Every structure is written in C-alpha cells, then in structure tokens.
Amino acid sequence: MKKRKKKTRTQKVWGFIKFQMVLMVLVLAAVAYYYAGGYAAKVSAMKTEAVSLVSHSSKETFRQSQTSIAYDVNGEVLSVLKGEKDVYYISYDEIPIYIKQAIVSTEDKRFYKHNGIDYKGIARAVVAMIQDGEVTQGGSTITQQLARTVFLSTEKTWERKIEEMYIAVELEKKYSKEEILEFYLNNVFFANGYYGIEAAAEGYFGTDVNHLSLSQMIYLCAIPNNPTLYDPLEHPDKTLERRDRILKSMLDDKVISENSYKTAVAETITTVEPTTIKNNYAETYTYYCATRALMECGGFTFQTVFADDEERQQYEKEYQELYEECNAKLFTGGYRIYTSIDLHAQNQLQASIDWVLASFTEQNEEGIYALQGASVCIDNTTGMVRAIVGGRSQDVEGYTLNRAFQSYRQPGSAIKPLIVYTPALERGYTPDTIVVDEPVENGPDNGDGRFSGAMTLRQAVALSKNTVAWKIFDEITPEVGISYLESMGFARLDENDKRLPAAIGGFTNGVSPLEMAKAYAAIENDGGYRNPTCIMKITDAQGEEIYQSDQSATVVYKENACRQMTDMLRTVITSGTGRGYSLGNMPCAGKTGTTNDNKDGWFVGYTPYYTTSVWVGYDIPREVAGLGGGTYPGQIWHAFMSWLHEGLEPIDFVAPMSAQE
C-alpha cells in the first residue's frame, strides 16, 4: 500500500514537471513567435501611440462633438444643431448620484479599484474567446470603453483590444476616476443617435437628466451595455427587464431603499415621440448669421466692394473656406445661440404669405410651388431680424431655398427712396419741390402710362413717377446714388449698376428682401444703418460668452432727409400706390415696386416699431397676371403688420424740421 502511494506521488510529481516543461516550451515558442512574427514591434508601436494620444488629450478632447441649440427671442427652442452625434455635455457634479452608482454597478464593479484594466474580466473574455473562436465579449472596464469610444473604432480585433488597454492605463494615470466617469457618461452611446446621458434624457424623456425619476434614470442606464438589444424604441420590454435587474442590484448593495425600489419597479415608463424641430427659413438664416458671427470672432473682415475682379475672387475664396470651417463648428461645438427671431411672428409671417398666394397651385418638376413669396421683418428698436420667410410652406425633405436672403431680384420702384429721393432730399429737395412728369429722351414710361406735368415731389413719390426719378438720378449721378447701397453692404452690386436704369430698379443682379428691409429700416432710424443679423449672442457649452452682437449704427443718410422721406412715404399709403394698406391708428410709411411685365412685385413699409419687406414672383422670372407692389405683396404686408401691431400703442414718426418751423 505504501509503495503504491509512493508511486502515485512520484507520478504526480513527474506529471507536474512534464506539464511545466511543456508549458515552458509553449511559452518560449510563443515568445519566439511574438518576436519573429513582428508582433513585438507592432505592440510596442501601439503603446507608443497610446501614450501620445493620451498625453496630447485634454478635457476638451472628450467634448469635441457637442450638440448646439438655437433659441428664439422668447427662449423657445428654434433649432437643434447636431452633427453625427447628439451630445449634450454635463459636468460630474451635474450627473445624479444614482446614475453614477448604477453605471459603475452594471458596467464595472471594480471601477474604483483597478488601474484601467480588470484582469479578472479579461480572463473571462479569454475563456469566451477560446470557446467561441473569436472575440465575442470583453472584460472591458469603463475606462477601456471610454478609450474605444473616443480614440478607437469598435471593431473586435486583438490589435484594437491591446491598444485599448494601453490607452486605458494612460487615461488612469492622467485623469481622476471622477473625470473618467464624467467623460464616459457624456460619450457613451444610448442608441438612436444619442451620445451621453443628457442627450438620452432629452431624447427619450424630453427633459434634462436632473428632472428624471429614479426609474427613468436606471432605464437609461440599462441601454449602453447593448444599445441594439436594449433600444428603448425597438425593444422597450427588454430595456424594462434590465432596468429591474439593475434596481434589484442597487437594492442588494443598499444603494436604494426597499420603498424606492418598489416605487421605481412599479413606475410605468413612457418615452416621448422623437421629434425633429424644423423652422425651415428661420433655421437657415440663423445658421448663416451664426456662422458669420464665428467668422467675425476669428477676425474675418466682411467686404462687398472690391477694387477689381481679382480682389473679389481672392476674397470669395477666403470667405468660402472659413465659412465652411465655421459652419461645421456650429454643428459640433455645443454652442448656445440666442437669436432675435420671434417664432410666433415667424409663423404669422409664413401664414400671411401662404394665405395670400394660396390660389397659385402650379408646381415645378421638384414639386415646389412655382409662384413664390419672401419677406423679412426687422425690429426697429434693435435693428435685428424679427422674422424671415423665404418661400411658401411645403412638406419637403431638408431645407429649401431661402429667398429672403439668398435670392436677388429687380426691385422696381421700391429702390427709389434709397438711391434717388433720400439722396435728393439731402441735396436741397423738399417734399414740396416742384418737379415735372414729362417724356424723357431714351427714358422710361410711367406705370400708369401717363405724364402728369408739374407736381410736387411728394406727389411724384406717391404716384411712383418713373420719369421724375430718372431725371433726379441723372442729376445727383448714378455713382452717388449707388454709393448709398454700397455703404449698407448690398452684396450683388455691379459696376454696370451705376447707370440711369438703376433709378427705377434696373440692376445687373438685383437685391434681396433682406437688403431692402435693412435699408428702409435705416431710413426709419434717422439714417443710422445697422447690420440686420438675428444673432444676439453665442455662448459655449460652459455658458461663457464668445460673441455679442454690436448693433451700433453707421450714419448713411442725413437725419432730416430721412424724416422728410418718411413723411412722403406716408402719403404713398394714404393716397398713393400703397393706398388701402393703412394700419388704422398706427402711423406707417411704405413704397411699392413693380418690374417690367409684372415679373416682380414689392412692398416695403415700416412703423416706428417694425420694418417689413415683401417680394412676390417666380424663381425664373416670368409675368404674373395681376402682380404689382400694391396687390399680393401689399396684401401680405398688411395682413402681417396688422397682426404684429395688435395691442401696441400708436407712436407717431418724428416730424422733419421743415414741418416744425
């Protein structure tokens, strides 16, 4: 018996020795293969890259792609600007304690103990890999998941896994556990395009994370483990089951009470319907203005007048490059954009255009209405855009052409106060100056087809006499007249515009509704021109202000000339081409404009409160039966301005000095 036991013991010893020898041979073979196969160099390179990636990182690295939000003047969300990811970044202190505890409990129980790698977890992953023949799971720590999300791809290869581990170790050296958890919860994927716990809260429940119930918080924490399997929109039952398991684990860990557990498990979870905010024309104009605001922050100087074509081309090249760069930042920078747009006024202006043009049902090949309208409203108190509509409402994918600032059309007689009459008033003309409406050699006819002889300048303006405007423009010279538009940054002016036909709206490229509104607003503002942006201010994700609008005015016209012009434009509405569009007790002034063959119709008018321009026409110019400044454009202007001024106290315009004496 003793001999048998001794023999058995000896066999075990020799067996162990043989096993050790075989193991040693395998290890030596593995080491030899590791070096001979070039893996040593590859792993070394991975480590070097990991060290470099982390050493060059900062806290900003983990908030590089954040969702920006634009607000209207009343604080309503106007637009949510996001790139590939929907990310709202919040600090560690802003993250509810239950979420931190739940994520650590479910994703990485040893989070506060390891140095970035959980070796027990890796052992489990190795066993699974041997059993499955491929990498199917990992003992990935929160730090490793962060490394993968921010620095690497999600492909399951041994190279990616090794580099992930190196990065995780380096992250733990550089950042605290609290910072790593903050980075993770702001970058982890919650399905359906939501990255970060705040984006998930907003997306699934329509509120910020601190207003969620315990049950809702843990429901969200159930998602990241497997966003496909626990997708709340596709598999809400599975998400609910995992929520309950996490809550039970938190109860067992004494993180929550029995009462809290029962209440949370019993709560019915209802996610909100995913909605996409789309304020077509207000959004595209906001993006345009916000992009230019970022360009301005970078020191870019905007320009509309050039010495020659070479200078223009160079400017346009530099402009376009920087515009694209800043526009991209807009969708990933986490900005908070505060605008002067009033969505209530925006909707009313849109409704006014849609209502007046409703009978025109013809559509082009793309299904877009053929006859279009565009309008811009400026708040005269601030000089900023209150509402902007670039076309009729239609249910179409994406954004449509915003004609309010992207289309340039012939302005007809609406241009006369800007380049003819106000400049003439500065040079000694008065509303009572006698002018003669008579045929002009190589000159224009009048819209009414008649020549009325001697009349006051006020009458000539009210009846929109082309001959009078032509002669005065010739007198003050086209160069002088056009210089006023140059001073107000009209973008599509051409050297060929410095000729007599411009007096009645004959331009090479034309003007936009935005430009017409801002120029008339300058007249209302006693000649002080203000850039009509809609951006009041922009802050970064931390609330630090990076842009503040400067609405200081540049003097373009003389004060008294503007007051005289306003006085004459009041006559246009009371007894001229704009009659019928009075706003009751609210003093108002305006001008009509109609181009040859009724291709474009304009109405631009203002009160002490607001200035609004309206254009109607086809995108490809053609005759519109019955179109004139005093028809459809005037109707749109009147409908909108009547609504806009409801309940406002009537304010009179300041009388010109000649009228006071």
CA distance 166 to 144: 9
Please tell me which residue in 49, 107, 159, 438 is annotated as part of the active site.
107
Residue 236 CB burial class (10 angstroms; 0-12, 13-18, ≥19) = middle
CB 612 within 8 A of CB 640: yes
- What length does the chain have? 661
Q: Would you give the distance in Å from CA 574 to the centre of its chain?
A: 41
Q: Would you give the distance in Å from CA 480 to the centre of its chain?
A: 38
CB 168 within 8 A of CB 152: no
What are the helix (H) ranges across 387-488? 403-406, 416, 422-426, 457-462, 466-476, 478-487
CA distance 230 to 236: 7
Question: Among 183, 127, 189, 128, which residue's Cα sits nearest to residue 154?
Answer: 189
Strands (E), 166-256: 194-195
Is residue 642 among the annotated active site residues?
no
Question: Among 319, 224, 351, which residue's Cα sits nearest to residue 636?
Answer: 351
The Cβ of residue 351 has, within 10 Å, a number of other Cβ atoms equal to 15
**Alpha-carbon distance values, 144 to 58, 184, 489 (Å):** 17, 10, 54
Question: Among 277, 290, 284, 386, which residue's Cα sits nearest to residue 329?
Answer: 290
Strand partners, 77: 71
Is residue 582 among the annotated active site residues?
no
Q: Which residue has the tokens 């193991």?
A: 23
- Those residues with Cβ within 8 angstroms of residue 507's Cβ, 6 or more apart along the chain or in another chain: 410, 411, 415, 492, 493, 494, 497
One-letter identity of residue 513: P
- Those residues with Cβ within 8 angstroms of residue 95's Cβ, 6 or more apart along the chain or in another chain: 181, 182, 185, 197, 209
The Cβ of residue 619 has, within 10 Å, a number of other Cβ atoms equal to 16
For the stretch 566-569, contacts whose Cβ atoms lie closer than 8 Å and that sit 24 or more positions apart, written own/partner, are 566/523, 566/524, 566/653, 566/656, 567/431, 567/458, 567/653, 567/655, 567/656, 567/659, 568/421, 568/431, 568/457, 568/458, 568/461, 568/462, 569/417, 569/461, 569/605
Please tell me which residue in 57, 140, 413, 512 is annotated as part of the active site.
413
CB 549 within 8 A of CB 635: no
Q: Which run of H or E residues covers position 327?
A: helix 309-330
Reported as half-sphere exposure (CB side, CA atoms, 13 A), residue 92 has a value of 12
Catalytic sites, residue numbers: 107, 413
